[in-house]
Structures are given as structure tokens and as C-alpha cells.
Amino acid sequence: MSAQDEPENDDDPGEVEHDEPERPSVMVSGDVPGYLIDEAREAVRNCGYDVVGRADDSTVLIICGEGAERNATKLADARERDLPCMDATVPGRFKSAVRAGEFTGGDPLPEPVKVGRSGLSERERNRLVRSWARENGYKVPDKGRIPMHVRHGYELSHKTTPDGEAVAA
């Protein structure tokens, strides 16, 4: 058969056909008890799932470990896409899912919390600042923005020197 006799192929020779369906993906947020983060991700991959940092159309589940509430981006993605949640902090839940080769949700998503350098959430910190401000004669609203001069006064009054004494405001 000569080149002239071969049927014409309109397909791009560089295009590769994929007959395999896209693998479902899972987001992992927080630390899975009993697993290093890489071990947890590898266990998920070994069960036939891809692990993603942000949800996409293939994402079927979010696995929430310890500290998952501190990852507001992943939680927002999960909420927006109405993804089921698996609470991996429940003893044995993640290990059982790995053994079964299937991850399922049904647990409530944790509420995201904003945490600053102090380890307090923004809400907890604002509560402390408001309380301190009122005790020190500042007028502050019950809700909304706390004036910068009040925050600054709070910061100064709670700052310590290298010898452990508080700084005068």
C-alpha cells in the first residue's frame, strides 16, 4: 500500500487520545492523626484519588484533619461546591477508609477561623481588645471596626520588654 492509498487522517498527530476517565480528586485539610501529611496524601492516591489543593470539577470530597478550620480557602471551596466532608479526627476513620479503598463524607464542615500570631482567632482577639478598652476608658462599638488608636493602646499595654515587664502606654 502506498502513501497515496492510505486513508486520510484529519486528527492532529500530536494529539493523544485518553480513553481513561479523569480520576476523582480529594482535598486534604489539616493533619490526619497518625499520618505525616505526605503519608496521608499517598494513602489517598493509592486508593485511586488525586489529591488537589483547590477544588475543581473532579473533586468529590474534603478530608478534614486536625487544624482544618484554619484553612479557610479549602473550606470555602468545599462549601461553594457542596462537597461532602470526612472528619479524619474521628479515631480510626481515615485508616478504615484507606483499608476499604474508599473515602466517604457525611460529616459537617468545620467553621473556618482566622488565627493571628498570638494563636487567638480574630473574634477572640477583638473581644479582648474591646474588654481592655472599656476597662481603660475608651469608647468602642459592640460590633464592627475597632479604632486604630484603641488597638495601638492595647498592643502597647500588652507588649513586654526583654526583662518581662510591661511597657507603659
- Please provide the DSSP assignment of 141-157 as one string: -SSSPPPHHHHHHHHHH
**CB contact set of 23 (below 8 Å; sequence gap of 6+):** 48, 49, 50, 58
Q: Tell me the C-alpha distance between 80 and 97, whole Å.
A: 25
Q: Tell me the C-alpha distance between 96 and 55, whole Å.
A: 24
**CB contact set of 62 (below 8 Å; sequence gap of 6+):** 26, 27, 28, 29, 55, 74, 75, 77, 78, 83, 84, 85, 86, 105, 109
Q: Which long-range contacts (CB under 8 A, 24 or more apart) does 88-96 make?
A: 88/30, 88/32, 88/33, 88/40, 88/63, 88/64, 89/30, 89/33, 89/64, 89/65, 91/33, 94/32, 94/33, 94/34, 94/35, 94/40, 94/43, 94/63, 94/65, 95/34
Written as tens digits, the pLDDT of the chain (169 aa) is: 444 555 454 554 454 455 566 899 999 999 999 999 899 999 999 999 999 999 999 999 999 999 888 888 899 889 999 999 999 999 999 999 999 999 999 999 998 876 666 666 778 888 899 999 999 999 999 988 899 899 888 888 877 555 555 555 4
- What per-residue confidence (pLDDT) applies to 162? 57
Enter the pTM of the model.
0.58
User: Within 10 A of 143 (CB to CB), how many other CB atoms are there?
Assistant: 7
Q: Tell me the C-alpha distance between 57 and 24, whole Å.
A: 9
- What per-residue confidence (pLDDT) applies to 3? 47
